[in-house]
Amino acid sequence: MSFKIIPSKILLKQIKDLKLDEKSKRILNNKIDLIKENPYRFKCIHSKLFSKTFRIKLNMKNKEYRLIYIIIEPNIILVCLLERKKGYKDLEKYLHKIKSL
């Protein structure tokens, strides 16, 4: 099955605000390519709103991030970047914004 990757407005704003360098952009793009190949390969996380919610570990700008995405076949929606040290406190808030769209 062919999936279509759709970045959310939340993620695009976060990437713009982070001002990623070339190495970080390459890391992010490589992970997105891996999602395209097999979106179910990464760890599934629990969410109240979506059953198919996943996360990918990223190390960018000397910080640990988690790229959160959901699968609503045939689409993969890239939801947000979460800073690891802050935990997953804001996850449901971001997912709720996606659900309202």
- As a whole number of angstroms, the distance between CA 13 and CA 37 comes to 25
pLDDT by residue (tens digit) across 39-95? 999 999 999 999 999 999 999 888 999 999 999 989 999 999 999 888 888 898 999
3-class SS at 63?
Answer: strand
Q: What is the number of domains present in the chain?
A: 1
> How far are the Cα atoms of 10, 54, 66 from residue 13, in angstroms, in the given order?
5, 20, 16
The residue range of the domain holding 55 is 4-100
| Residue-level pLDDT at 17 | 93
CATH of the domain at 73: 3.30.2310.20
- As a whole number of angstroms, the distance between CA 7 and CA 89 comes to 21
The overall pTM is greater than 0.85: yes
